[in-house]
């Protein structure tokens, strides 16, 4: 049995930004995960996105495959991804749908959308949620900049979020899994690749975190759902910027026998932005641990490994 874990709760509506930034800093130093409350997105909207997600995943598989993933947008079937190729050769037992930058943000819309006949409110619901959660992401990133003793618009100035490069991913983990000789994960152990991830889940358990990724054996702790909050975690780009001061924490989703829906929103750095160690996070005794890298190059390489290794 995994131990249960309680992350700090950050109140996004607090007028005291300095104190909020201080709490975020502590959460990022401790484990890189926290709950976000009073984020300003109505639960009614979140529930309608879950409902539209259920509507999509219950379409016949041929119809879903008409929207098969291209340019990182669209549908990926069960077992098509493997987030930790070292732990299992079979892919992860989840299906997903990715929505990238919208027409209003990006010069070209590469998204794929289900037909209006099949799912009339789908696109407008997803676009509405995407815009709102992106706004939350931008507010969080300016608080993270403050938490790093930087100007609050630091990540804008270095081109990380203008234009923003964020992906909403709808996930469905089936309840029933067939018999397999290998251990099957809903999502195998990984850290997220971008700056920050904002996760909504339907409350079904399964998400686990390993707070010390370099320690063996790994200790996994259950993450509880708190109604009305998002779970936020730091991704690899932020780990590289901060020279591991803010670590990207390993997490995974274990099958529990119950169907589960979740929707992570990944705020990745703009592909042209160079992610390099912040001056405030290195010194002679603590030199940069990673070379500078274009955000796009890092993401492409991680996605290539994720999809290449699944059967």
Using CB under 6 A, which residues numbered 91 to 130 contact ligand AKG?
Answer: none
Q: What is the 3-state secondary structure (H, E, C) of the chain?
A: CCEEECCCEEECCCCCHHHHHHHHHHHHHHCCEEEEECCCCCHHHHHHHHHHHHHHHCCCHHHHHCCECECCEEEECCCCCCCCCCCCCCCCCCEEEEECCCCCCCCCCCCCCCCCCCCCCHHHHHHHHHHHHHHHHHHHHHHHHHHCCCCCCHHHHCCCCCCCEEEEEEEEECCCCCCCCCCCCCEEEECCCCCEEEEEECCCCCEEEECCCCCCCCCCEEECCCCCCEEEEECHHHHHHCCCCCCCCEEEECCCCCCEEEEEEEEECCCCCEECCCHHHCCCCCCCCCCCEEHHHHHHHHHHHHHHCCC
Question: Closest residue (Cβ) to ligand AKG?
Answer: 262
Give the nearer residue to Fe ion in terms of CB position, either 144 or 171: 171
Q: Please report whether residue 267 would count as binding ligand AKG according to CB under 6 A.
A: no
Q: What binding mask, one character per residue, do residues 183-202 give for Fe ion by CB under 5 A, x or -? A: ---------x----------
Size of the site for ligand AKG (CB under 6 A): 11
Give the nearer residue to Fe ion in terms of CB position, either 20 or 248: 248
Using CB under 6 A, which residues numbered 201 to 220 contact ligand AKG?
Answer: 201, 207
Question: Closest residue (Cβ) to Fe ion?
Answer: 192
Give the nearer residue to Fe ion in terms of CB position, either 81 or 192: 192
Q: What binding mask, one character per residue, do residues 148-187 give for Fe ion by CB under 5 A, x or -? A: ----------------------------------------
Nearest to 250, CA basis, from 33, 23, 79, 34: 33
Using the contact rule CB under 6 A, the part of the chain among 2-10, 144-152, 199-207, 210-218 near ligand AKG is: 199-207
Using CB under 6 A, which residues numbered 153 to 192 contact ligand AKG?
Answer: 169, 171, 187, 192
For residue 201, the partner it binds in ligand AKG, Fe ion, none, with Cβ less than 5 to 8 A by kind, is ligand AKG
How near is the Cβ of 235 to Fe ion at its closest, in Å?
Answer: 8
Q: What binding mask, one character per residue, do residues 227-266 give for ligand AKG by CB under 6 A, x or -? A: ------------------------x-x--------x-x--
**Which residues contribute to the site for Fe ion (CB under 5 A)?**
192
């Amino acid at each position: 049995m995994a131990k249960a874990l309680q992350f700090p709760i950050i109140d996004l509506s607090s007028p005291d930004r300095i104190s909020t930034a201080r709490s975020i800093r502590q959460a990022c130093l401790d484990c890189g995960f926290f709950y976000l409350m009073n984020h300003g997105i109505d639960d009614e909207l979140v529930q309608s996105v879950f409902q539209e997600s259920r509507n999509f995943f219950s379409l016949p598989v041929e119809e879903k495959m008409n929207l098969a993933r291209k340019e990182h947008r669209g549908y990926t079937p069960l077992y098509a991804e493997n987030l930790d190729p070292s732990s299992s050769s079979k892919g992860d037992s989840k299906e997903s749908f990715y929505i990238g930058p919208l027409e209003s943000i990006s010069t070209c819309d590469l998204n794929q959308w289900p037909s209006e006949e099949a799912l009339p409110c789908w696109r407008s619901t997803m676009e509405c949620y995407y815009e709102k959660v992106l706004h939350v992401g931008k507010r969080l990133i300016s608080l993270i900049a403050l938490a790093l003793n930087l100007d609050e618009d630091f990540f804008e100035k270095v081109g990380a979020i203008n234009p923003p490069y964020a992906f909403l991913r709808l996930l469905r983990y089936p309840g029933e899994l067939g018999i397999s000789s290998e251990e099957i994960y809903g999502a195998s152990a990984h850290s997220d690749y971008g700056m920050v991830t904002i996760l909504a889940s339907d409350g079904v358990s399964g998400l686990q975190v390993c707070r010390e990724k370099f320690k063996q054996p790994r200790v996994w702790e259950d993450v509880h759902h708190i109604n009305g909050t998002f779970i936020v975690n730091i991704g690899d780009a932020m780990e590289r910027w901060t020279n591991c001061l803010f670590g990207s924490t390993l997490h995974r989703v274990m099958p529990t026998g119950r169907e589960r829906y979740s929707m992570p929103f990944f705020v990745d750095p703009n592909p042209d932005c160079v992610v390099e160690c912040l001056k405030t996070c290195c010194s002679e005794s603590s030199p940069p641990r990673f070379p500078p890298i274009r955000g796009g190059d890092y993401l492409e390489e991680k996605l290539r490994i994720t999809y290449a290794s699944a059967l």
